[in-house]
Chains A and B, each alone.
Chain A
């Protein structure tokens, strides 16, 4: 079962998102800030991370930088920002920083689920392609 990590410092919002994802048949793990988020990523190796930006301890940008720079093993793990920083400048900064998607709050859950699915589908395609290449080589 596909595992999604939701990192969000607002507990009410985090729980609502987790519930929505669970309803869509994903396994969900949660973290309340960036530092805790990193620990969960390393321990539980989620298939996708949905992450807030403005958080105590370690913000979303710092966490994403850490993952991309220090943990290449998670290079294929889609990382999607879900932030209340909703202007163009912040969206561009998030995507330039290496995020695979940027959703703004408040978020329509249909859009959230579709974005998550699209990201996972893309990863699936890449993985299949890599498998095919190996077969051809043989």
Chain B
């Protein structure tokens, strides 16, 4: 708000009469009751203050008179704020605004301020009269309101964030649950299929034996051959049952590891020899380099891991003969790699390898339940180890198991360190 500078009251003819002086005194008394009043010269030196000014600022009148108004500066306002104010009043325009001042005791107060410049007889601005109202309470309420609003906004923001995080977590959990449920459904279908197939072989062979025997066409040699087929199918069912039970046990945490110094190389040699007997069409090549014979591990679990990996290599490389198995020490780990030249795995499925019941697209038509690798992953993790897979469609897969030589799993502390690397 601006207005032209007023002439100094001493120069105004209307104030010369006694009546007017009375009126002026009354007006001043009323003004002093209501407002904080001060007069300064053009340099800001205080030339007059009323009682209210002294009360609010905490200074005595004699401390203020002759002192620059700057004594009340609070450092709240930027320099440009006062520069603009002085520019206005120095040019004869009334200034109006809200100022934060600092009282003598260091406390702050807010004043709604009108500064009016007055001219002397020559028309030059010679003094300023500042009339102020104490708006500290109003400001405080406003500040409190703003703080409340900010706090509220923060709370709403935090609550929204928490809700969003919760929603995302719930959605993820739901998606995971759905995926698990779908995998479980697939597993039930697959398990039913996998159990029915050897059962069908047993039943069909038995029916054939019965018919041939009824017609006296079952020689002892023929019977032995057919019984062998039945027994092979029974073994297949037993393996299937065992792997299903192992998974159930691993899930319920029932697999207790018996950690003891293990000759991993010897276990690997035994597993390779056994797998070689079972699959004459494959050539399992084993390369073991300087393995320590006292790695802390559960020998049964290690045997199961090697069996699953090597039998998988045989199963998923039906038309290629060579399976390479290597074992060595790398850093502080025993590293065992099983490499086949089989059907391979799609790159987009590598991350899901080892997931319970998961079977790669390329496994279509090949018997399996999606349990074996999941068990491998679980058992290796229980040894503080890691399983990695590299694969290329049509070229084969390499499964690498790392078992730390000094692992902490002796206390049966489950700890995951699994990671996979895409080919």
Contacts and interface: CB of A to CB of B under 8 A. Distances in A.
Partners in one complex: yes
B339 to A, nearest CB: 21
A16 B196 contact: no
Contacts of A86: 192-193, 196
Contact of B204 (A85, A104, A109): A109
Interface string A1-31: 0000000011011001101100100000000
Nearest to B207: A109
B365 A84 contact: no
Nearest to B367: A54
Task: Give the residue among A56, A90, A104 with the most B Cβ atoms within 10 A.
Answer: A56
Q: Which of B189, B201, B232, B365 has the most CB of A within 10 A?
A: B365
Interface string B353-396: 00000000000111000000000000000000000000000000
Given A12-B233, A56-B366, A84 B196 contact: yes
A59 B200 contact: no
Interface in B192-237: 192-194, 196-197, 199-205, 207-208, 211, 229, 232-233
A104 B189 CA distance: 13
A23 B208 CA distance: 10
Interface string B172-198: 000000000000000001001110110
Given A16-B207, A20-B207, A57-B365, A84 B197 contact: yes
Which of A84, A107, A108 has most B Cβ within 10 Å? A84
A19 B210 CA distance: 13
A40 interface: no
Contact of B200 (A20, A57, A90, A107): A107
B359 to A, nearest CB: 12
Contacts of B200: 10, 13, 84, 105-107
Interface in A94-114: 104-109
A56 B192 CA distance: 18
Contact of A85 (B189, B208, B229): B189
Contacts of B364: 54, 56, 59
Closest 9 CB pairs of A and B: A56-B365, A105-B200, A106-B203, A84-B196, A16-B204, A106-B200, A84-B193, A12-B229, A55-B365
Nearest to B318: A56
A55 B364 CA distance: 7
Q: Is the interface of A mostly helix, strand, loop or mixed?
A: loop
Given A56-B366, A59-B365, A12 B193 contact: no
Query: Could you tell me the dominant secondary structure of chain B's interface residues?
Result: helix
**Residue from the set A23, A57, A105 with the largest chain B CB neighbour count within 10 Å:** A105
A20 B365 CA distance: 25
Contact of A17 (B194, B204, B229, B232): B204
Contacts of A109: 204, 207-208, 211
A89 B55 CA distance: 92
17 contacts: A13-B201, A16-B201, A16-B204, A20-B204, A23-B211, A54-B193, A54-B365, A56-B366, A86-B193, A87-B192, A90-B189, A104-B196, A105-B197, A106-B202, A106-B204, A109-B204, A109-B211
A20 B211 contact: yes
B334 to A, nearest CB: 35
A86 B366 CA distance: 18
Contacts of A59: 364-365
A93 B42 CA distance: 100
Given A84-B196, A105-B200, 18 more contacts: A10-B200, A12-B229, A13-B200, A13-B204, A16-B208, A20-B208, A54-B365, A56-B365, A84-B193, A84-B197, A85-B192, A86-B192, A86-B196, A87-B192, A90-B189, A106-B200, A106-B202, A109-B204
Contacts of A55: 365
Contacts of B192: 84-87
Contacts of B232: 12
Contacts of B208: 16, 19-20, 109
Contacts of B366: 56
B317 to A, nearest CB: 12
A106 B206 CA distance: 11
A59 B361 CA distance: 13
Contacts of A84: 192-194, 196-197, 200
A8 to B, nearest CB: 9
